[in-house]
Structure 1
Amino acid sequence: QNSVPEAMVIVDEQDHLISKMNSISEYDVIGVGPGIGTDKMTTLVISQILDQFDLPMVIDADALNILSENKEWIEKIPKGSVLTPHPGEFRRLIGDWNDDYERLDKQIRFCAEHDLIVLLKGANSSICNSDGTVIFNSTGNPGMATGGSGDVLTGIITALLGQGYSGYESAVLGAHLHGLSGDLYVRKYTEETLIASDLIDFLPEAFRKVSGR
């Protein structure tokens, strides 16, 4: 709260975990997962959110790990929501695969079965829509493989959803902007020094390039 004064915060009564769900009826979108842990109380909060929220969400990190332990909850995820796993999280969610072709096939079938969007993170991240359409993102660089980078992506996609873009549009545009921010940083500095907050700093320039301004 002190380091990011513009962030509006509702404080939990627990210091180290999320223990209860506050009212979510006024929210247009929810992004959940980064840094929340998988405590039993937090797991219960995720279940309550899925029971009560019916608009598209962005689900990442520990929220995905919680889903992996409670796969029957996948059916409760609002249609058109965006899941943003890295390969390890995706493997825990859907099971193993033998090669990249099988992984892509599993991704397509998962999206179609549950009417969800999956952005599978990595080099040339794949974004799959529920109709089987897949786009591979071409922006980004190895310097972005750093702690917190995926959390920035979750924030970007959540913000785009809140502006009225569909889940698929938010995932595709979010991945492009996220990677472009990293590429713009590297043009000025180096991959070796890139940290997650640098991606946020270069987002304005990324938006300008995408909009043609």
Structure 2
Amino acid sequence: MAVKPSARAHPRETSQPWLHQKGMEIQQFGTVRDFPVGLSRETREYSCQRLNQILADTQILYSLYKKHHWLMRGPTFYQLHLLLDKHAGEQLPIIDEIAERIQTLGGVAVGDPRQVAEITVIPRPPDGVEEVPAMLSRLLEAHETILVASHDAAARAADMGDDGTNDLLVSQVVRTGEMQAWFLAEHLVETPLVRA
């Protein structure tokens, strides 16, 4: 039950917020509203479904970056600690752009971390600390999962005339993901840190 200001008080005479508000769900996840964006309902439903999968996986990628940033160890700690934090920061605007694209198409963006965990296809890491190469490999595998899905979804969106979704996936998700994967992969090349 909502706590309401005194019935006798005029709204201007009190600053008490109406607490504990409850509301009805006004749009179900997985549905799209009709928006005048020049795309068919079928196209918008397809794009929203694919974008929500990529959004969930990208949110998990961001979290993996932060986790591994905190848990980094060894002689390359400083460089990797900074690199992983930089990559995490570069994923945040992508997460926002994907969510806003879903909303623009009339859909509902996945935002609750519990729902993200149900939707993602990125494997869960151990709760503890892995060896550094394993953490980097885990990030690379997450990137590849997202890149494969993004290439496929971008091509299909283009075929369906959804240029906005295609542009977002290619110019932001794919380009950023490929660059970040390159940087990570180079850290797994076996080169001695010091020449004998």
Bucket of the pairwise TM-score, normalised by the shorter protein: under 0.3
Please state which structure has a larger fraction of its residues in helix: 2
Q: Taking structure 2 as the reference length, what is the TM-score of the superposition?
A: 0.26
Larger Rg: 2
Structure number with higher relative contact order (C-alpha < 8 Å, ≥ 6 residues apart): 2
